[in-house]
Amino acid sequence: MMMTGAQAMVKCLEAERVSLLFGYPGAAICPFYDSLAESSIRHILPRNEQNAGHAASGYARMTGKPAVCVATSGPGATNLFTAIATAYMDSIPLVVITGQVSSELLGRDVFQEVDTTGAAEPFTKYSYLVKDAAEIPRVFKEAFYIASTGRKGPVLIDMPVDIQRQLLEFRYPEKVDIRGYKPCSKGHPMQIRRVAEAIKTAKRPLLCVGGGVFAAGAQDAVRTLCEQCSLPVVATMMGLGVLPTGHPLYIGMLGQSGSEAANRAVEQSDLLILIGARAGDRAVASPQTLEAMTTVVHIDIDAAEIGKNLGTTIPLVGDAARVAEQLVEQHPVGEWRKWLEWLEARRAEARRPDAPVKDGYIDPNAFIRLLSERMEDDAIYVSDVGENQIWSARNVRIRSGRFLTTGGMGTMGYALPASIGAKLAAPEKQVVTVCGDGAFQMAMMELATANQHHVPVKLVVMQNGCLGLVREIQQNQYRGREVAVCLDGSPDISGIAAAYGIPSARIRSMDEAEQAIDTLLDGERSFVLVCMVDPREGTGQEAAV
């Protein structure tokens, strides 16, 4: 069937069962938008391309499949870059489509031209610059395949506007064959046996779960592994929620922002099994010390992660779910009751009361515990970046729900657009967003997107009038000289919410918290809850930069 490149792009998306995409139109992508009018694919219009990318990220994290975002050439594409890089660091599958200037004008610096594929190269899993419309079906098929297999990530397709108008004979390929890309999913049987043997002989084994467990949809398999073998578990920030917070085998989050119990567990372990965790610097601050002290098993779908940050005794390449199942088959059980008792004691010690907060302010730690306890069991908690992220990661109670945040890039302004994406992917679930007043002002335009597309947003803004985490760094490492961290001049957040027609409340004490949370969570409607937080309230961590 003959059609234009633009029609073919839409047909490809339909063939990949895309029912919704996030985008922002512009001249160089207009043929595609024109063809989209003939399709039932729903288009969501975030108010900035960056937020289209973050929304797609939230959507992809809930569906487990590549989400699509679209922008025009030049500034449209460059605005998307922050979101692409964020997705790349967190291994989120995206198919990113950008318009491009006419192919015969490439390289002439014409209006809204930028070398999109060249500039995005360091933070895309792969990219295409399509120069012949006949390639569109193959390129799209490959893009979805590459984004969603192996270590997931964003794939970019740059589409010159003339190629979108070119005619082609459309046939969507059934199979993909890329000779340089054959991701394996099953763990090597010999390595599986080595790992099983290491577990059996360990005295103080510890499993460390990361975001890769979610990327592989391996939560159940990993939970079965740790329950059947009584393996205690710590999580990276991206791995929060693999086990429910209250699970008897769950010790806590490790790393710089993590719990003392979890970090002591890591120090004392004689066998550390990382699964879908890349031992990033925020999780493992001194890998050299750790690799010298303990036997490290590293399970990852990406062979390049193994040994990159942390020296590994037993490498095991494979899909987290498959490998966990293979390990369960080996039934690697040993004797470490004393170790579990010791861990339980450390966990009990860690339950210390919060330091009192000043009158007129909310205690962010207590508030987050209360909020997450009152949320539905399978609710999605989306946290932004900054102090709110650390308070959230430490205090959130996760049962069967999810905790979404950007662990790798730490991109401010992520939470609101990502939660809109997550809610669109899982409309039956409760989605709650937490951000600070800094990030709120980076993303508040998305309240319009929520309104336009009838996506209820339940937004908590922790307002302390400053860029709190940077302020902490300046306090701790720059002799307390505070520079450019004060957010004076900020608008009244309730007033902003009102301007978008969204009801809101502001609370200043924990006495008001319970009722305010119930109002926030009530029903399928948007609500903004502003929590006044003491600007001096910190996270108490030694911020390392």
Partner 1 sequence: MRRIMSVLVENKAGVLARTSGLFARRGFNIESLAVGETEDPTVSRMTIVVNGDERMIEQVEKQLNKQIDVIKVKTLEIDTSTRRELVLIKINAAQQNRGEIIDICQIMKAKIVDMSHTTLTVELCDRPERCNLLLEMLTSYGVAELARTGMVALQKGSEAIALKK
Q: Please write down the HEC assignment for all residues of 160-178.
A: EHHHHHCEEECCCCCCCCC
Of 175-183, 273-281, 334-342, 502-510: span binding partner 1 (CB under 8 A): 175-183
Of 173-181, 208-216, 454-462, 537-545: span binding partner 1 (CB under 8 A): 173-181
Q: Which of 466, 464, 534, 461 is nearest to 504 (CA)?
A: 461
Smaller CB distance to partner 1: residue 17 or 182? 182
Letter for the amino acid at 107? G
Q: Site for partner 1 (CB under 8 A): how many residues?
A: 20
Structure tokens at 31: 């043929």
Q: Does the footprint of partner 1 cover residue 303 (CB under 8 A)?
A: yes
Q: Does the footprint of partner 1 cover residue 175 (CB under 8 A)?
A: no
Among residues 110, 178, 333, 486, which is the contact residue for partner 1, using CB under 8 A?
A: 178
Q: Please write down the HEC assignment for all residues of 361-412.
A: CCCHHHHHHHHHHHCCCCCEEEECCCHHHHHHHHHCCCCCCEEECCCCCCCC
The number of beta carbons lying within 10 Å of the beta carbon of residue 260 is 13
Return the bridge partners of 504, or none.
528
Q: Does the footprint of partner 1 cover residue 180 (CB under 8 A)?
A: yes
Q: Which of 97, 213, 93 is nearest to 153 (CA)?
A: 93
3-class secondary-structure state, position 319: coil
**DSSP class per residue in 190-224:** HHHHHHHHHHHH-SSEEEEE-HHHHHTT-HHHHHH
Would you tell me the crossing angle of helices 136-148 and 5-15 to the nearest 10 degrees?
30
Q: Does the footprint of partner 1 cover residue 345 (CB under 8 A)?
A: no
Q: Which residues contact 468 (CB under 8 A, 6 or more apart)?
A: 386, 387, 436, 438, 485, 533, 535, 537, 538
Smaller CB distance to partner 1: residue 178 or 355? 178
Residue 281: CB minimum distance to partner 1, A: 15
Contact track, partner 1, 492-521, x by CB under 8 A: ------------------------------
Binders of partner 1 in range 187-226 (CB under 8 A): none
Residue 138: CB minimum distance to partner 1, A: 13
Q: How far apart are CA 171 and CA 459, in angstroms?
A: 45
Q: How far apart are CA 395 and CA 382, in angstroms?
A: 13
Among residues 30, 43, 102, 126, which is the contact residue for partner 1, using CB under 8 A?
A: 126
Q: Does the footprint of partner 1 cover residue 125 (CB under 8 A)?
A: yes
Q: Does the footprint of partner 1 cover residue 129 (CB under 8 A)?
A: yes
Among residues 75, 110, 118, 499, which is the contact residue for partner 1, using CB under 8 A?
A: 118
Q: Does the footprint of partner 1 cover residue 270 (CB under 8 A)?
A: no
Q: Does the footprint of partner 1 cover residue 182 (CB under 8 A)?
A: yes
Q: Which of 116, 68, 66 is nearest to 92 (CA)?
A: 66
Of 21-29, 118-126, 454-462, 514-522: span binding partner 1 (CB under 8 A): 118-126
Structure tokens at 494: 């309730």
Contact track, partner 1, 307-326, x by CB under 8 A: xx--x---------------
Contact track, partner 1, 456-495, x by CB under 8 A: ----------------------------------------
Task: Supply the DSSP symbol for 245.
Answer: T
Smaller CB distance to partner 1: residue 63 or 313? 313
Among residues 121, 373, 482, 492, which is the contact residue for partner 1, using CB under 8 A?
A: 121
Q: How far apart are CA 93 and CA 152, in angstroms?
A: 5
Among residues 110, 167, 304, 499, which is the contact residue for partner 1, using CB under 8 A?
A: 304
Of 178-186, 216-224, 379-387, 461-469: span binding partner 1 (CB under 8 A): 178-186
Report in angstroms the alpha-carbon separations of 169 from 172, 369, 412, 544. Answer: 10, 57, 44, 56
Residue 84: CB minimum distance to partner 1, A: 15
Among residues 119, 135, 181, 494, which is the contact residue for partner 1, using CB under 8 A?
A: 181
Q: How far apart are CA 493 and CA 528, in angstroms?
A: 8
**HSE-CB for 168 with a 13 A CA cutoff:** 24
The number of beta carbons lying within 10 Å of the beta carbon of residue 221 is 21
C-beta separation of 74 from 93 below 8 A: no
Residue 212: CB minimum distance to partner 1, A: 15
What residue has token string 């025009």? Answer: 72
Smaller CB distance to partner 1: residue 48 or 191? 191
Q: Does the footprint of partner 1 cover residue 358 (CB under 8 A)?
A: no
Binders of partner 1 in range 63-82 (CB under 8 A): none
Of 240-248, 302-310, 340-348, 369-377: span binding partner 1 (CB under 8 A): 302-310
Q: Does the footprint of partner 1 cover residue 172 (CB under 8 A)?
A: no
Residue 304: CB minimum distance to partner 1, A: 4
Letter for the amino acid at 530? V
Residue count of the chain, please give it: 545
Among residues 86, 91, 98, 117, which is the contact residue for partner 1, using CB under 8 A?
A: 117
Binders of partner 1 in range 133-162 (CB under 8 A): 146
Q: Does the footprint of partner 1 cover residue 302 (CB under 8 A)?
A: yes
Of 82-90, 204-212, 296-304, 514-522: span binding partner 1 (CB under 8 A): 296-304
Would you tell me the crossing angle of helices 320-330 and 219-228 to the nearest 10 degrees?
20
Smaller CB distance to partner 1: residue 141 or 423? 141
Of 21-29, 106-114, 306-314, 483-491: span binding partner 1 (CB under 8 A): 306-314
Structure tokens at 109: 């610096």
Return residues touching partner 1 (CB under 8 A).
Answer: 117-118, 121-122, 125-126, 129, 146, 178-182, 302-304, 306-308, 311
